[in-house]
Structure 1
Amino acid sequence: MPLDELLTPPDRQQREARQDHRGVALLLTGLPAAGKSTLAHALEARLLALGGQCLVLDGDRLRAGLNQDLGFTESERQENLRRAAEVAALLVEAGMVVPMAMIAPLASHRQLLAERLGADYREVWCRAALHTCERRDPKGHYALARAGKLADFTGVSAPYEPPQTPALILDCDTRSVAQNVKRLLQWMATERLLGPSLQRALSSH
């Protein structure tokens, strides 16, 4: 192979063709404890098993590292999302599927992501009732918020604005994680985010 070809990095189209799927950022938005992170990681595992390339951007992990200097004021929430969008844009450019498990509680927050990511952005509402999320409460945050010990907690002391026109709604009240991952992958195939090889692999499993 000529040296000049070795020094030329693959472009996005080449990466997407090799991986047989489009690069896309999927915002999995919903109330705390709706199941966003669980679903995102289950999707990641499923896509990797099928031969795709996927990396989860989890809101909690971002706040523990890249965004550990940020709190929960409105301006800090926006900066948190802005940084996440920049990371997602880099991964999408590499042709990866990027599930973003983030609350993004306000329409303005989601608009910020949509404007930065453009045609590479899809909004998926992980819909679950507040009482369902409180019953799950794996971190005990709802209980703390109800006791007045956790300020600005979405769903209790801070608002969550349900998406008005999401690309997809997943029922995280009554459907299992496996059912929702299957639904999400079927939708991705319909939207032509998955290529023919991945679709064949999906249909054979």
Structure 2
Amino acid sequence: MESLLLILWRHLLAKLLYLLIERERTCGSNSTPHPSLRFQFGMAGAVYIKGVAVTKYKRSAVNDSDEWPSKYSKFFVQLDDGLELSFTDKRRFAKVRLLEDPASKPPISELGPDALLELMTVDELHGSLSKKKIAIKALLLDQSFVSGIGNWIADEVLYQARIHPLQIASSLSRESTATIHKCIEEVISVCG
């Protein structure tokens, strides 16, 4: 039998990958929740196929000499044909949950638009910023405002835009907002 893991729904948002896996057809009731997986990549986790690292990051790396599956394995799949897949998470940020509708439940439902895949237009961004009486850096770090911007990206965006991190978002001109928008696109495209 050939390895097959049927993904019914997937969504990449910020540094998180959400998967909805098909449940076994013999589970009975249609109300049985699907396994919903939240993978946090980068500093937190890595996916491995036995003997092959799919992602490499020093803090996440599993060496060939390490036990299999790793003691840090958060999610492990062994398919009928012997293929083995593991998601390791040494920092313990990943979650595996059984959910009916993952997109409607926190934390996914609380995230703002993804900075890489669905960045607001300049006008939308300016309209949103004009309502916020908070420092621009703090707002950029707020994942419910826009997801996928972490500390170093916010710092780089504001440095490139020549905007002080403590400047109040509502005080930014449309030109400054357009500059921030352009810098977000540029910084994210380089690191994404």
Same-fold status (TM-score > 0.5): no
TM-score, with structure 2 as normaliser: 0.25
Q: Higher strand fraction: Structure 1 or Structure 2?
A: 2
Q: Higher helix fraction: Structure 1 or Structure 2?
A: 1
Greater Rg by CA: 2
